[in-house]
Copies of this chain bind each other. A is one copy, B any other.
Amino acid sequence: MTQQTSYNTGKGAGETVGVALLGFGTVGQAAYRLMNEYADEFTERAGGPIEIRGVAVSDLSRPREGVDPDLLTDDAMSLVLRDDIDLVVEVIGGIDLPRKLVLAALRAGKSVVTANKALVAAHADELAEAADASGADLFFEAAVAAAIPVVGPLRRSLAGDRVNRVMGIVNGTTNFILDAMDESGASYDEMLAEATRLGYAEADPTADVDGYDAASKAAILASIAFHTRVSADDVYREGVREITAADIASAKAVGCTIKLLALCERLVDSDGKESVSARVYPALVPRNHPLASVSQSFNAVFVEAEAAGRLMFYGNGAGGNPTASAVLGDVIGASRNIVLGGRAPGESVYASLPIASFGSIDTRYHVVMHVKDQVGVLADVAKCFANRGISLKTVRQEGSENGARLVVVTHMAREDDLEKTVADVSSIDTVLSVERVLRMEGDD
């Protein structure tokens, strides 16, 4: 049974919602500007005026344009706890400080809107408990794919369905890099430099290129889709640093492009027992799959549900304005409940499905081997796959400088079995090395 048993009854139509804006970076500035620009419309939509009553920044001495200086403070906690604050909008980033502030707000019965995927993915449990205890709302549409409505559609629109799979391109930086590599044939390092120059990648790109950002989003998506608590630590993760121009070319040769995917899957074993897999890795995607054509820094989330079938949501997954759009949608929703009463659906983890081990997932594989150019190699390699029960869809041999490259694409196979097969193949005398194993996702 849901924990939600008490509802706030609302301040009453026409009452003002006092907002604390925590953070005044790109997203904070956009949200501030739009909230002022759309103030009259927001009043109509929320049932009462929404007023920014304080803006918390880390450094008061820095000049800030376009903000009423009387609103600025560097004491975020005092602002959050002020009696005239009903709603806290957290767009600081990081984990420790926002966690303290968001928890304090929720415990004080103040609703929170956050764009912070790392916070939500790492601390969903205590945030949800605090919100449920006080009856406050916790919204985070902006935490996944920015402007693209994903959290709301999964939580509300698909509430009457059974989601089996969510597959998304949820990191704009890596999509920009991989798309540029695909377009130009250039190397990862060159395209990372390009992304940095154009502002798509940060000075330290770790969170993006090593898949941490996508893993946080995968955890959030899996939690909502499967009504199960999935944290970032539960997500298997591989980044894109090692993707080479040769990998992209290899993918092209089999009609694919390479995308960094966040995959959330409901697994059912032979006894009918269900579990959940959440994983992030670069994978080959067939060019005619809708996700293959997601270019530049765009994001898209593909959902398969029992009754709805296949759905896709596409749009801007990053940037000040798109992120602010999602934040402000939540601000309206939270404000409406503060004014008129009611509470949005909160965390729903009743299903409590176990997290599947990564070795137990099934997918297809694209394996590149460097082999001696002599008779019988193919037969030896094929035998290794057959011995583990893995059938091959295509086999391709290419000449290379010293020896040959053998490229196989498998049918569906279990990760554990594939790993053992790779070990087997590596031990063949005529196989110089297994250069690369990449997974292949998306069957149309």
Q: From residue 285 to 340 of chain A, which have CB atoms closer than 8 A to chain B?
A: 290, 293, 305-316, 321-322, 324-333, 336-337, 340
Partner of A147, one of B7, B307, B348: B307
Known: A14-B1, A340-B343. A328 touches B160 (CB 8 A): yes
- Is A314 a contact of B315 with CB atoms below 8 Å? no
- Is A325 a contact of B337 with CB atoms below 8 Å? no
Partner of A44, one of B1, B12, B30, B324: B1
A420 vs B1: C-alpha distance when bound (angstroms): 66
Partner of A227, one of B44, B149, B157, B351: B44
Partner of A7, one of B306, B321, B328, B341: B341
Is A5 an interface position by the 8 A CB rule? yes
Smallest Cβ-Cβ distance to A47: which chain B residue: B2
4 closest A-B pairs (Cβ-Cβ)? A342-B342, A160-B328, A149-B157, A147-B308
Among A14, A322, A329, chain B packs the most CB atoms within 10 A around the CB of A329
Can you report 20 A-B residue pairs in the complex whose CB atoms are below 8 A from each other? A2-B44, A7-B342, A34-B160, A34-B307, A41-B162, A41-B350, A41-B351, A44-B350, A141-B157, A147-B311, A149-B157, A156-B329, A159-B328, A159-B329, A161-B325, A306-B321, A307-B322, A311-B316, A341-B342, A342-B342
Is A200 an interface position by the 8 A CB rule? no
Among A305, A316, A321, A325, chain B packs the most CB atoms within 10 A around the CB of A325
A334 to chain B, nearest CB (A): 10
Q: Produce 1/0 per residue, A148-175, CB < 8 A to B.
A: 1100110011111110000000000000
Is A4 an interface position by the 8 A CB rule? yes
- Is A329 a contact of B160 with CB atoms below 8 Å? yes
Q: Produce 1/0 per residue, A1-40, CB < 8 A to B.
A: 1101101011011100000000000000010001000100
A10 vs B14: C-alpha distance when bound (angstroms): 22
Partner of A313, one of B14, B311, B321: B311
Among A13, A309, A351, chain B packs the most CB atoms within 10 A around the CB of A309
Residues of chain B within 8 A (CB-CB) of A14 are 1
Residues of chain B within 8 A (CB-CB) of A293 are 293
